[in-house]
Structure 1
Amino acid sequence: MDFLLSQNNLWILLIALASGAMLLWPGLAKGRSNARIPLADAIQHINRDQGVFVDIRPSEQFKAGHIPQARNITLDTLDAHIGTLPQDKPVVIVDAHGREGARAVAQLRKHGFTQAFCLDGGLNAWTEGGMPLKKS
């Protein structure tokens, strides 16, 4: 007990606990936000498991350029279109930068979609990866 009460040892113990918490933090945060997936994983989900890309950007942006075969369902109309999406296949949400997709994934998971993901980096990641765009 004297070891813990010593002033120097108390500081060492606090620093050790703080550094341990910082090392664990990314793993814990990743477990909660596993909805974000990189481009390669998104393509694999779509190709291997016949998943669906859902682009939640406004229709004007969608028409200017989108992922081929992506469906345009804006975030504010997603609840109304839940029934048109396959619950047994991966659904990959695409937005402009990968920031708003988490809200859409949360909506889908609330409705029982266990394979709902957000493309990390959004459409920007798609184009930076050299993938094709389709214009309507």
Structure 2
Amino acid sequence: MFEFLLDNIVLVAVILVSGAFLLEPVIRKRSMGPSLSNEEAIDYINKKNAFVLDVRATKDFKRGAIANSKSIPMEGFEGRINEVPNDRPVIVVDTVTSSSQKAAKILRAKGYKDVFVLEGGIKGWVDAKLPFTR
């Protein structure tokens, strides 16, 4: 067996690298915590009274936002966590997802239970032509 591996080192390397590429999306999704698709987010907003937290910069929020969302930019976020209710699900949004993942992680560390990141962020929401105020 060991001799086969040595004789076919390139094949073994290709198999290992391919496996890593196949697992990467699964590992990334797990590391970012729970997320919601646009459709799931709408259900949470309408049926579970979810709080939509927009962590983009204030100037970006003023240009347009998900209807009824609250702006708490990442800059200074930890000092304003008390503005986020902990008795409702929280959907964190950003332009795409990087800052929202960070904010969601902070909220979970502070004891918030139902915290989700919107898959695709504001861009995905707007591209799907969902309610957006300008």
Letter in 2 for 1:4: F
Q: Which runs of 4+ in 1 moved over 6 A?
A: none
Instruction: Say if 1:40 and 1:77 are closer, same or farther in 2 by CA, change over 3 A.
Output: same
5+ long unaligned stretches in structure 1: none
Residue matched to 2:3: 5
Instruction: Say if 1:9 and 1:60 are closer, same or farther in 2 by CA, change over 3 A.
Output: closer
Q: Report Cα offsets for 1:47-106 as digits up to 9, x if no partner.
A: 222111111223232222111110111112322222232223221112223332111112
TM-superposed CA distance for 1:13, in Å, is 5.2
Residue matched to 2:81: 82
Q: SS where residue 75 of structure 1 aligns?
A: coil
Q: Report Cα offsets for 1:3-56 as digits up to 9, x if no partner.
A: 323433666555545544443333233222234432122222222221111112
Residue matched to 1:40: 39
TM-score (norm 2): 0.79
Letter in 1 for 2:122: L
Letter in 1 for 2:84: L
Percent identity of the aligned residues?
Answer: 28
Instruction: Say if 1:117 and 1:16 are closer, same or farther in 2 by CA, change over 3 A.
Output: same
- Equivalenced residues, count: 133
Equivalence map 1:1-136=2 (5 Å): 3-6=1-4, 7-8=6-7, 15-135=14-134
Letter in 1 for 2:3: L
TM-score (norm 1): 0.78
Larger radius of gyration: 1
Tell me, in whole angstroms, the C-alpha distance in 2 between the residues paired with 1:122 and 1:104.
13
Instruction: Say if 1:12 and 1:92 are closer, same or farther in 2 by CA, change over 3 A.
Output: same
Tell me, in whole angstroms, the C-alpha distance in 1 between the residues paired with 2:17 and 2:63.
48
Alpha-carbon RMSD: 2.3
TM-superposed CA distance for 1:129, in Å, is 0.8
